[in-house]
């Protein structure tokens, strides 16, 4: 019986991604829904790190389980790093992925291709019920396309173009995305920490 690791998200896209990214860790990955916890944490932090810590610590205290939370966003250079931590709420509180993408593209409608550089950034926080937290981060650089392309992934993936692959994040095979994405890079570091924890338990 492996100890449980609570993923502090009910976003099905993220849960699926984390189950793949953390495959092989000696923990049973569970969600708030599966453990009967109502996830109601206001992401009031000014940074990804603060938001990830808020979610991880709150749910670790509620569940008495080791908890992993992430906060991530897309940062567009010409928009001075926006939407950043507000990525999920950029087009309004309950906007869909499509609405968020359309809103971002509308902000860039007069910006030429060479000025559309951007990056995805992710911070993972892992909190124990006693309040101790460890952080891992990852980033992925690219540019913003003029229109969406691709159907895999979620969020801003269809407009995040990776010049070295000649594709958007949403056009990449999952196996490639899970090696090069911001979340993949942060999760690789988290995986090392989890393996270390399991070995010292």
Task: Write down the pLDDT at residue 201.
Answer: 61
| Helical axes 182-200 vs 12-21, angle rounded to 10° | 60
Q: Please check whether residue 154 is in contact with residue 13, taking contact to mean a CB–CB distance below 8 angstroms.
A: yes
Q: 């691709």: which residue's tokens? A: 150
Residue 83: HSE in the Cβ half-sphere, 13 Å Cα cutoff: 21
Q: Please check whether residue 187 is in contact with residue 177, taking contact to mean a CB–CB distance below 8 angstroms.
A: no
Task: Write down the pLDDT at residue 168.
Answer: 98
Q: What is the CATH number of domain 4-200?
A: 3.90.950.10
The answer to whether 71 is a known catalytic residue is yes
Cα–Cα distance for residue pair 109/125, rounded to 1 Å: 35
- Hey, is 165 helix, strand or coil? coil
- Residues β-bridged to residue 73: 121
Parse the chain into domains and list their residue ranges: 4-200
Sequential pLDDT tens for the chain (201 residues): 889 999 999 888 889 989 999 999 999 999 999 999 888 787 788 999 999 999 999 999 999 999 999 999 999 999 999 999 999 899 998 899 999 999 999 999 999 999 999 999 999 999 999 999 999 999 999 999 999 999 987 899 999 999 999 999 999 999 999 999 999 999 999 999 999 988 876
Q: Does pTM top 0.85 for this prediction?
A: yes
Q: Which of 71, 102, 110, 157 is labelled catalytic?
A: 71
**DSSP string covering 42-99:** ----SSHHHHHHHHHHHHHHHH-SEEEEEEEEEEEGGGTT-BGGGGGGTT-TT--HHH
């Amino acid at each position: 019986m492996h100890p449980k690791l609570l993923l502090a998200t009910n976003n099905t896209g993220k849960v699926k991604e984390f189950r793949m990214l953390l495959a092989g860790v000696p923990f049973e990955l569970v969600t708030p829904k599966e453990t009967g916890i109502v996830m109601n944490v206001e992401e009031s932090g000014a940074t990804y790190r603060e938001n990830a810590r808020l979610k991880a610590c709150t749910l670790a205290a509620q569940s008495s389980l080791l908890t992993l939370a992430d906060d991530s966003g897309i940062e567009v250079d010409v928009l001075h790093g926006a939407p950043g931590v507000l990525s999920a709420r950029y087009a309004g509180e309950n906007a869909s992925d499509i609405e968020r993408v359309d809103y971002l593209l509308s902000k860039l409608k007069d910006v030429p291709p060479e000025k559309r550089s951007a990056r995805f950034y992710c911070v993972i926080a892992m909190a124990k019920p006693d309040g101790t937290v460890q952080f891992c981060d990852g980033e992925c650089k690219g540019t913003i396309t003029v229109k969406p392309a691709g159907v895999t992934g979620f969020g801003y993936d269809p407009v995040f173009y990776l010049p070295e692959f000649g594709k958007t994040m949403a056009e990449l095979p999952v196996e490639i995305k899970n090696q090069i994405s911001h979340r993949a890079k942060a999760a690789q570091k988290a995986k090392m920490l989890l393996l270390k924890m399991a070995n010292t338990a």
